[in-house]
Structure 1
Amino acid sequence: MDWREQSPENCSIALTLDLVGKPWVLLVLREVFRGLHRFDEIAEHIGISPAVLTRQLHMLVDGGVLERRPYREPGQRPRHEYWLTASGEELFPVLSALKSWGDRHLAGPTGPATIHRHHGCGSPVAVTLRCEAGHRLAGLDEIDVEPGPGAVPLRRSPRS
C-alpha cells in the first residue's frame, strides 16, 4: 500500500494535535517547562481565564501529559500543582522546534525573547533531525514516507 492510499484516521500527528493543538495548550506547557506549576501562576503569566485554564489542565492530565500533585499552604485549602509526566517531557523538542522557527522567522530585529542554553556548557540548544542510526538529515528530500504497521487503507467514496 502506498502512503497516499492510507487513511489519515489514525495519523499520529492528528492524534497529537487533538491533545496539544488546542488554543493555549502549548503556552500552558511552555510555562510548566519553565517551572511554573501552580494554577494561579500559570493563569497570571499567560493571561488565560481560569475557566479555560481549568479545561486545558484537565485535558493534559487526562491525556497523560501532566500530573496533579497536591500541596497546601499553611492556613489554606488543599490545592494542586501541575508537573510534566515522562511523556510530557518528551514534548520539549516540539516546543523547542516551534521556538527555533519563530526565532528565525518572527522574532523581529531585536531578536528572540528567550534563549535556551545547555546548562553544562552554555551553548544555545538546537533541534536537529536525525535518523535512528545517527545520521543528520539536511532536508526533506532525504526522507521517505511509507505506511507503518498501523496503516489502515483509505476508504474511497463511490463516485456518482
Structure 2
Amino acid sequence: MARKQVDDWQCSVGRSATILGDRWTLLILREALLGTTRFADFQTNLGIAPDVLTDRLSTLVEYGVMTRNTYQEPGQRVRPAYHLTPAGRELHVIVGAYQQWGDKHLPRPEGPTMTRRAKRTDRPVHVAFVDDLGYEIPADDVASIPTGN
C-alpha cells in the first residue's frame, strides 16, 4: 500500500478526503460504528473485494482511525480484528451527516435504513452546526471564512 499524500493539501478538507473520501471507506466506517470488527464480516456485509478492503483498512489503521488487533476462535488460525479509535469514533458525525443528507435528498421508498438516538434519553438526534454556547445554527446561517494560512 502506498502512503497517501496528505501533505499535498493545505486545506483540512483535502487532507481528510485523502484518507476518508472514498465510498468504501465511508461504508467501512458505517459498519465499524455498527459494531463490525472482523475482516470477513466487513467483506460479507459490504460485498467488497478483499484487496480493496485490505487497502482501506490498512489506511485507516495507518492514520489512527482504527486499530488492528488479533483474535482466535478455538481450533482456528489467528485473524485480525479492527476497532475504531477515539478519532475514528468522532467520524460518527460525518457518517451521520452523509446518511441525513441521503435520507433527505435521495430517499428510499421504504424509508431510512437507520435512525440515530441519544443513548441516555432515547430521543432522535440529527447532525447540525452548534455554536460555542450550544445553540443550533441553521446551515444557511454559517459562514466559511478562510484563515489565510
TM-score range, shorter chain: 0.7 to 0.9
Tell me the CA shift for residue 145 of structure 1.
0.6
1:38 and 2:38 correspond: yes
SS at match of 1:68: strand
Structure 1's 134 and 117: CA in aligned 2 closer, same or farther, altered over 3 A?
Answer: closer
Letter in 2 for 1:118: A
Tell me the CA shift for residue 109 of structure 1.
3.2
Tell me the CA shift for residue 23 of structure 1.
3.4
TM-score with structure 2 setting the length: 0.88
Once residues 133 and 122 of structure 1 are traced to their aligned partners in structure 2, the CA distance between those partners, rounded to angstroms, is 23
Equivalence map 1:72-91=2 (5 Å): 72-91=72-91
Tell me the CA shift for residue 144 of structure 1.
4.7
1:111 corresponds in structure 2 to: 111
Identity of aligned residues (%): 37
Equivalence map 1:1-160=2 (5 Å): 9-147=9-147, 151=149
Once residues 101 and 24 of structure 1 are traced to their aligned partners in structure 2, the CA distance between those partners, rounded to angstroms, is 18
Letter in 1 for 2:61: V
Tell me the CA shift for residue 120 of structure 1.
2.5
SS at match of 1:80: strand
- Runs (5+) with no aligned partner, structure 2: 1-7
Kindly report the root-mean-square deviation, in angstroms, between the aligned alpha carbons of the 2 structures: 1.7
2:118–2:125 CA contact under 8 A, matched in 1: yes
Tell me the CA shift for residue 118 of structure 1.
2.1
- Runs (5+) with no aligned partner, structure 1: 1-7, 152-160
1:158 corresponds in structure 2 to: none
2:3 corresponds in structure 1 to: none
Tell me the CA shift for residue 137 of structure 1.
1.2
SS at match of 1:147: coil
Tell me the CA shift for residue 43 of structure 1.
0.3
SS at match of 1:15: helix
Once residues 112 and 37 of structure 1 are traced to their aligned partners in structure 2, the CA distance between those partners, rounded to angstroms, is 24
Letter in 1 for 2:18: D
Q: Give the paired residue count.
A: 142
Once residues 45 and 38 of structure 2 are traced to their aligned partners in structure 1, the CA distance between those partners, rounded to angstroms, is 11
Letter in 2 for 1:122: D
Query: 27-36 vs 133-142, which deviates more?
Result: 133-142
